[in-house]
Amino acid sequence: MHIERRKFIGAGFMLAASGAMAGNASSAPTCLSDRQRTIRGKTYVAACPPVKASIPRTPGPQRVMVIGAHPDDADITCGCTAAKLIAKGARVKFVAVCNGDIGHHKLSRKETAATRRQETLNAAKVWGLDSYDIYGYGDAHVPNDFEARELVARKIQEFEPDIVITHRDCDYHVDHRTVGTLVKDCGYMLGCPHWIEGSKALRRRPLIILMRDDFTVPRIMRPDILIDCDPYIEKWCDALDCQVSQFYEWLPWDKGCEDEVAAIGDRTKNIAARNAYLKKYWAAKKLRDAARFADAWREQYPGKPLPKMLEAYEISEYGRPPIEEDFDLLMG
């Protein structure tokens, strides 16, 4: 019997069969469990069954649903990925499970939620999204219960995404962790017809991939999929610019960098200064990830120069296993 071992490569790791470890890279692993699939040399554990050729995907463009906690999470963390996928013809939907109502220091919660709703609509036009949906839980009030899980599941089942992107469940914010957990807990159940009466059980469950974070416990994220941000970073700035209450008011106040916003002057004229500010504060993680995941980049894109900025994702074990179509869409 083969024994699975973890093999570390650069910042990430892959599970490798003992045959490959012994130098016999061409021998396929033969003792995978029914929850393991090997693709592109890596073995992934998956809660959901693999895609069957006998169950075709819904016709039309590939669909990607980014389920964030707040009405800027998808933009900040996955915006360049969304821009790339939309440019390739995919349909992309952004979701904020919470309404963002504590994201301001002067506006009331009601005013903040209403302002942010309008700002996401403006951003959706810049991105070219199918829609930017806000489910309406108050910030830091989203529960990990059946009602919230049912809501998230129904929305996923309605859109029938090929890929869902969400938070890791060890991210910094309670809402991020809860939303990541909600999506994870929906994973297998999305295909069960009697779980939620009247819902549309999915024969092809989505691949779930997880946004980047810096946490080290229980372990650092695994950079399974890296996206070059450089061609899309100016569009990313244009979309963030729509969320005035966040990037020019609340977040600078929270960070204590309001003077840098004031120094931009008229941001509709001083685009270079505006973009430099947005990148300095809100793209710093993309810059850092290009350095920390450089080895993984060279592995995934042999011969391609390392971009200045990256968006990084880990393949979740709670969706279906990845297929070539997923890699072609995200990395092609």
CB 167 within 8 A of CB 68: yes
Residue 76 CB, shortest distance to Zn ion, in Å, is 8
Nearer to Zn ion, 11 or 82 (CB): 82
DSSP per-residue letters across 155-210:
HHHHH--SEEEE--TTSSSHHHHHHHHHHHHHTGGGG-TTTSTT----SSPPEEEE
Nearer to Zn ion, 102 or 121 (CB): 102
Residue 239 CB, shortest distance to Zn ion, in Å, is 16
Nearer to Zn ion, 252 or 322 (CB): 252
> Total binding residues for Zn ion by CB under 5 A?
3
Residue 212 is a binding residue for Zn ion (CB under 5 A): no
Nearer to Zn ion, 73 or 133 (CB): 73
Nearer to Zn ion, 246 or 275 (CB): 246
How far is 278 from 182, CA to CA, in rounded Å? 31
CB 232 within 8 A of CB 308: no
**Per-position x/- string for 16-55, each x denoting binding to Zn ion as judged by CB under 5 A, each - no binding:** ----------------------------------------
Long-range contacts of 195-203 (CB under 8 A, 24+ apart): 195/153, 196/150, 196/153, 196/154, 199/153, 199/154, 199/157, 200/157, 200/158, 200/160, 201/157, 202/156, 202/157, 202/160, 203/55
Residue 169 is a binding residue for Zn ion (CB under 5 A): no
For the stretch 213-225, what's the b/e string if a residue is b when 16 or more beta carbons lie within 10 angstroms of its beta carbon? beeeeeeebbbbb
Residue 168 CB, shortest distance to Zn ion, in Å, is 13
Closest residue (Cβ) to Zn ion?
Answer: 70
Residue 67 CB, shortest distance to Zn ion, in Å, is 12
Say if strands 91-98 and 63-68 run parallel, antiparallel, or are unpaired: parallel
Nearer to Zn ion, 65 or 196 (CB): 65
Residue 235 is a binding residue for Zn ion (CB under 5 A): no
Residues between 261 and 280 with contacts to Zn ion, criterion CB under 5 A: none
Residue 139 is a binding residue for Zn ion (CB under 5 A): no
- Helix, strand or coil for residue 7? strand
Residue 173 CB, shortest distance to Zn ion, in Å, is 5
Residue 211 is a binding residue for Zn ion (CB under 5 A): no
Residue 19 CB, shortest distance to Zn ion, in Å, is 43
Residues between 61 and 80 with contacts to Zn ion, criterion CB under 5 A: 69-70, 73
Q: Torsion-angle region of residue 10: left (phi > 0), alpha (psi -120 to 50) or beta?
A: left
Residue 285 CB, shortest distance to Zn ion, in Å, is 13
- Helix, strand or coil for residue 81? helix
Nearer to Zn ion, 119 or 162 (CB): 119
Residue 89 CB, shortest distance to Zn ion, in Å, is 28
What is the amino acid identity at position 328? D
Nearer to Zn ion, 146 or 172 (CB): 172
**26: CB partners within 8 A, 6+ apart:** none
How far is 317 from 44, CA to CA, in rounded Å? 7
CB 182 within 8 A of CB 84: no
Residue 70 CB, shortest distance to Zn ion, in Å, is 4
Nearer to Zn ion, 62 or 112 (CB): 112
How far is 240 from 77, CA to CA, in rounded Å? 11
Q: Which residues bind Zn ion (CB under 5 A)?
A: 69-70, 73
